[in-house]
Chain A
């Protein structure tokens, strides 16, 4: 479950950085499974086929999350020429078993703001090399779903 504004922000970031891959996290309170704070990151690899957070940025990010009792609820990145499915590299390097790995694809013209088709936006758990896709439910706000499980 993810808020519409967050989905829009992730897609906008992916379009902005196309043809390079875009990456970032959406943080939330520890244990809440609510992705509430959108944090776009720099792709230090600046590549159309690879992404990596800069090591200094990574340290600052995790310190900040720690201080705020937050965790990376969502880790997102874009694929710019292939489907929004984890690549072999994505699977090998995934090291946050608790995170939702979100992939968007900006292939086939989806990078353009004028593109009016649906943008591929999919979510996975990646644990010990096992990929499990999960349904993405987009809501207006988490507040309106209170009481649901």
Chain B
């Protein structure tokens, strides 16, 4: 078992075109670090700043729950979970 990341079209350049990749971790921050180890560059597109935070215009869901409401990068994850990343559709 592993944790699955569903990759949006714009970030598939980091995954060789794959729509989904697997990783591990006990929370979202660890999981993203782990994925970045196998697919360098992905992390920077999802988090920013110091301390690290999710980018304002990237939405991340763990098992369909927007992580902004479940603890952000500290959201716990476990084997079998599905993490979806979707760029916001927004503008002015």
Contacts and interface: CB of A to CB of B under 8 A. Distances in A.
Main secondary structure of the interface of A (DSSP, over half): mixed
Interface residues of A, number: 29
A58 B92 contact: no
B91 A50 contact: yes
Interface in B69-92: 84, 86-92
Contacts of A56: 66
Determine which residue in B8, B9, B66 has the highest number of CB atoms from chain A within 10 A of its CB, and name it.
B9
A44 to B, nearest CB: 9
B63 to A, nearest CB: 11
Contacts of A93: 57, 88, 90-91
Contacts of A94: 91
A90 interface: yes
Contacts, number: 67
A59 B68 contact: no
Nearest to B64: A59
A50 B87 contact: no
Contacts of A72: 89
Contacts of B27: none
A90 B91 contact: yes
Contacts of A59: 59, 61, 64, 66, 84, 86
Contacts of A120: none
Nearest to B87: A95
B89 A86 contact: no
Contact of A53 (B61, B68, B88): B88
Interface string A53-72: 10110110010000000011
Contact of B90 (A25, A53, A97): A53
B10 interface: yes
Interface of B: 8-10, 57, 59, 61, 64, 66, 68, 84, 86-92
